[in-house]
Amino acid sequence: MISYQSAKEEIKQAADIVSVVGQFVQLKKAGKNFVGLCPFHGEKAPSFTVSQDKQMFHCFGCKKGGDVFAFWMAYHSLTFPEALKDLADRYNVRLPEKHFSAEEKKKADYRENLYRTNELAAVYFQRELAHPVRGKAGRDYLEKRFLPQDMIEAFRLGYAPKGWDGLKQFLLKNKISLETAFSAGVLKRSDKGRYYDLFRERVMFPIMDLTPKKRVIGFGGRVLDDALPKYVNTPETPLFHKGSCLYGFAASRKAIRETGRAVVVEGYMDCLALRKHGLEEVVATLGTALSETPVRKLKGIGKEAIVVFDADDAGKKAALRTLPIFLNERLPAKAVVLPKGHDPDSFVNSRGLDAFSKLLDAAPSLFDFYIDQKLGSRTGDIDHKVSVLEEIFPILTKVRNETQRALYIKRLSEKTEIAEPVLFSALKGLNQFSAKERPENDIRGQFASLNGDRSIGELQLLNLLLHYPETVAQLRGRHCRELISDPTVRRIVDIIYDGYGHSETLTFEVIQERLDLDEDRIWFREFGFRPAFCSDREVKQAVREFIEKAQKKKIADSFKKAMGDPQAINEILKRKVQAGGPVGN
Ligand SMILES: [Zn+2]
């Protein structure tokens, strides 16, 4: 029987962390490592680091890190068993039957049931759409919107018919408990405790996750007419977090990477209509304002976003709300506002993709759009200008890059006809930027922060042991451990000493796994990403110096202990004279 550990190893052999992470984060080579913008926290300069040798990643900003499984879990919000299964499937590694603890198993089963419920619901809605009688209204709607059959199938569109318990009965028949269906968000529960279908008389759009399996994690349901609410989405569940999802992302990821841009629209139908006409790099928000998480994910694969809005006031307001997010995440963004009376769906269906592409190509930056919208036609009105500036300054203070900020000020000056120096000094008056916020991009700064109370000497010693494993044999048993006062560093060195010489190789990762404390592991990961402090040629010299230092320390310590015992001091002095040769034990 294959063990779970060996399956894990096998996956690691196959799943190179740089290529796995590289599918979701744009990585650049930097020395021995790769760096990119962290998908787990907002940052403008890369502190997210991936090491190919170590097969580990670490973010110097938010401290998230670990191996390829840790990445997969964090990025896709999955449990370890799920990540293991995903990667095992992907890299054709067979997993043993039993490999998890009872607790892990229980949690995994619970989530597995939620996935199953969503999958069954998707199947149910698809069948209902195909039903000659019950699905007719849904099919008519899709036909009216010119959506071809192959796309209906590819995106697994469905229909939730009239009635309160069609899905409920279907799930019960498939041995899904009502409680589970409720947790998966497809049933609602009345005050009296009765369960009923959440989606009724709606065209159903399943929302898939970004894993290769494209698992259904939630649904958006759209009414057939103008009734409100226009969209109903799955509520928050353990699998579905509306704020971090984009519709159609799984399908468009490749195209976004290839074209470098992501076209963001507001509705599911808009997204599908554009795809039908051949624009593949398109995603839709889930009827909510765009939030940081999806922007961060887009930033991981594309170079710019073009946000498309309806011409109505709500559309424009939505456009304006997204500016701070794009500025914050520093993903260049453009804004397209469609002609009055159009949404992307109606526009592309009536005028074709060429006309739509022209709008995309001519799109102004979101910043310009924002200022134009705010200033409106009242450009001569000083009071109005001031009120616009009051709105825009707080946003500008979030732009930490000085060059970029200067560019925005220049644009602002052109548009408001207020001299740049005046704007600069007004902005400085707010005094909110720079001083307080530590630049998170300074990797060297982050490395320096590692030292804390630790002496450079002990850090160099650990660095030497890690980068030149052959020095372990030369330094172990030479009292070098006594040079270390920091408990974390001691614990790590003990693991290295203990493990050295055993049959298995003591990799960076094995050391990390043997550390019991989370804080030790984080510190160690961060430390491990530092380069060697000496070159190959200097190793011998470094070893010699550490041994000498350790000897001196041992003698000094003995002195302290022997104070008051003249005989002992004499002995030590004699030894000190002879010192130079090894004094090891
Ligand atoms: Zn981070």
CATH number, domain containing residue 357: 3.40.1360.10
Supply the DSSP string of 144-199, one letter for each residue: HTT--HHHHHHTT-EEE-SSSSHHHHHHHHTT--HHHHHHTTSEEE-TTS-EEES-
Q: In terms of Cα–Cα distance, which of 55, 45, 44, 43 is closest to 19? A: 55
**In this structure, are 357 and 394 located in the same domain?**
no
**In this structure, are 456 and 563 located in the same domain?**
yes
Expressed in angstroms and rounded, the spacing between residue 36 Cα and the centre of ligand 1 is 10
Rounded to an integer, the average pLDDT of 419-438 is 64
Which of the residue ranges 7-16, 239-248, 527-536, 562-571 would you say has the lowest mean pLDDT?
562-571
Last residue of a domain, one of 69, 90, 111: 90
**In this structure, are 561 and 504 located in the same domain?**
yes
Expressed in angstroms and rounded, the spacing between residue 107 Cα and the centre of ligand 1 is 27
Expressed in angstroms and rounded, the spacing between residue 218 Cα and the centre of ligand 1 is 27
Q: Which helix (H) or strand (E) holds 107?
A: helix 102-130
pLDDT exceeds 50 at position 260: yes
**In this structure, are 467 and 572 located in the same domain?**
yes
pLDDT exceeds 60 at position 433: no
Rounded to an integer, the average pLDDT of 550-566 is 72
CA 88 to chain centroid, in Å, comes to 21
Expressed in angstroms and rounded, the spacing between residue 38 Cα and the centre of ligand 1 is 5
Q: What is the pTM of this model?
A: 0.73
Whether residue 97 lies inside any domain: the answer is no
**In this structure, are 419 and 461 located in the same domain?**
no
Rounded to an integer, the average pLDDT of 336-341 is 89
Residue 304: band (very low, low, confident or very high) from pLDDT cuts 50, 70, 90: very high
CATH code at 460?
Answer: 1.10.860.10
β-strands 195-197, 65-66: how paired? unpaired
CATH code at 216?
Answer: 3.90.980.10
Expressed in angstroms and rounded, the spacing between residue 573 Cα and the centre of ligand 1 is 54
**3-state helix, strand and coil shares in percent for the chain, rounded to the nearest 5:** 55, 10, 35
9-41 burial by CB neighbour count: b if 16+ within 10 A, else e?
ebbbeebebbebbbebbbbeeeeebbbbbbbbb
Q: Which helix (H) or strand (E) holds 204?
A: strand 202-208
Expressed in angstroms and rounded, the spacing between residue 505 Cα and the centre of ligand 1 is 30
In percent, the amount of the chain with pLDDT more than 70 equals 89
pLDDT given for residue 445 in this prediction: 40
**In this structure, are 455 and 572 located in the same domain?**
yes
Whether residue 190 lies inside any domain: the answer is yes
Contact at 8 Å (CB) between 18 and 27? yes
pLDDT given for residue 572 in this prediction: 65
pLDDT given for residue 559 in this prediction: 66
Expressed in angstroms and rounded, the spacing between residue 468 Cα and the centre of ligand 1 is 29
Whether residue 436 lies inside any domain: the answer is no
Expressed in angstroms and rounded, the spacing between residue 42 Cα and the centre of ligand 1 is 7
Whether residue 369 lies inside any domain: the answer is no
Expressed in angstroms and rounded, the spacing between residue 537 Cα and the centre of ligand 1 is 36
Expressed in angstroms and rounded, the spacing between residue 301 Cα and the centre of ligand 1 is 16
Contact at 8 Å (CB) between 144 and 115? no
pLDDT given for residue 265 in this prediction: 93
Last residue of a domain, one of 314, 338, 364: 364
Expressed in angstroms and rounded, the spacing between residue 248 Cα and the centre of ligand 1 is 25
Expressed in angstroms and rounded, the spacing between residue 330 Cα and the centre of ligand 1 is 15
For 12-26, what is each residue's pLDDT tens digit? 888 899 999 999 999
Expressed in angstroms and rounded, the spacing between residue 433 Cα and the centre of ligand 1 is 21
**In this structure, are 62 and 116 located in the same domain?**
no
pLDDT given for residue 434 in this prediction: 39
Which of the residue ranges 238-247, 288-297, 564-573 would you say has the lowest mean pLDDT?
564-573
Expressed in angstroms and rounded, the spacing between residue 291 Cα and the centre of ligand 1 is 17
Contact at 8 Å (CB) between 12 and 2? no
**C-alpha span between 271 and 289 (Å, rounded):** 16
Expressed in angstroms and rounded, the spacing between residue 533 Cα and the centre of ligand 1 is 26
Contact at 8 Å (CB) between 486 and 453? yes
Mean pLDDT value across the chain: 85
Q: Which domain holds residue 386?
A: 376-430
**In this structure, are 136 and 83 located in the same domain?**
no
The CA-to-CA distance between both ends of the chain, in Å, stands at: 45
pLDDT given for residue 3 in this prediction: 65
Expressed in angstroms and rounded, the spacing between residue 508 Cα and the centre of ligand 1 is 21
Expressed in angstroms and rounded, the spacing between residue 40 Cα and the centre of ligand 1 is 5
Which one-letter amino acid corresponds to residue 394? P
Contact at 8 Å (CB) between 307 and 281? no
**In this structure, are 140 and 79 located in the same domain?**
no
pLDDT given for residue 197 in this prediction: 97
**C-alpha span between 276 and 145 (Å, rounded):** 11
Last residue of a domain, one of 90, 119, 154: 90
For 158-184, what is each residue's pLDDT tens digit? 999 999 999 999 999 999 999 999 999
Expressed in angstroms and rounded, the spacing between residue 271 Cα and the centre of ligand 1 is 30
Expressed in angstroms and rounded, the spacing between residue 474 Cα and the centre of ligand 1 is 38
Which of the residue ranges 197-206, 374-383, 430-439, 478-487 would you say has the lowest mean pLDDT?
430-439
pLDDT exceeds 60 at position 420: yes
For 231-246, what is each residue's pLDDT tens digit? 899 999 999 988 889 9
CATH code at 47?
Answer: 3.90.580.10
Residue 2: band (very low, low, confident or very high) from pLDDT cuts 50, 70, 90: low
**In this structure, are 182 and 149 located in the same domain?**
yes
**C-alpha span between 262 and 242 (Å, rounded):** 19
Rounded to an integer, the average pLDDT of 452-457 is 73
Expressed in angstroms and rounded, the spacing between residue 48 Cα and the centre of ligand 1 is 6
Expressed in angstroms and rounded, the spacing between residue 73 Cα and the centre of ligand 1 is 14
Expressed in angstroms and rounded, the spacing between residue 47 Cα and the centre of ligand 1 is 7
Which of the residue ranges 37-41, 321-325, 413-417, 531-535 would you say has the lowest mean pLDDT?
531-535
β-strands 304-309, 333-337: how paired? parallel
Contact at 8 Å (CB) between 216 and 205? no
Expressed in angstroms and rounded, the spacing between residue 439 Cα and the centre of ligand 1 is 13
Whether residue 184 lies inside any domain: the answer is yes
Expressed in angstroms and rounded, the spacing between residue 41 Cα and the centre of ligand 1 is 5
Q: Between residues 453 and 182, which one has the greater pLDDT?
A: 182
CA 359 to chain centroid, in Å, comes to 31
Whether residue 246 lies inside any domain: the answer is no
pLDDT exceeds 60 at position 581: no
Whether residue 308 lies inside any domain: the answer is yes
Q: Between residues 390 and 574, which one has the greater pLDDT?
A: 390
Could you give the angle at which helices 456-467 and 539-562 cross, rounded to 10 degrees? 130
**In this structure, are 258 and 133 located in the same domain?**
no
Rounded to an integer, the average pLDDT of 466-488 is 86
**In this structure, are 426 and 509 located in the same domain?**
no
**C-alpha span between 36 and 29 (Å, rounded):** 9
Whether residue 301 lies inside any domain: the answer is yes
**C-alpha span between 464 and 218 (Å, rounded):** 51
In percent, the amount of the chain with pLDDT more than 90 equals 41
Count structural domains, the chain.
Answer: 5
pLDDT given for residue 99 in this prediction: 63
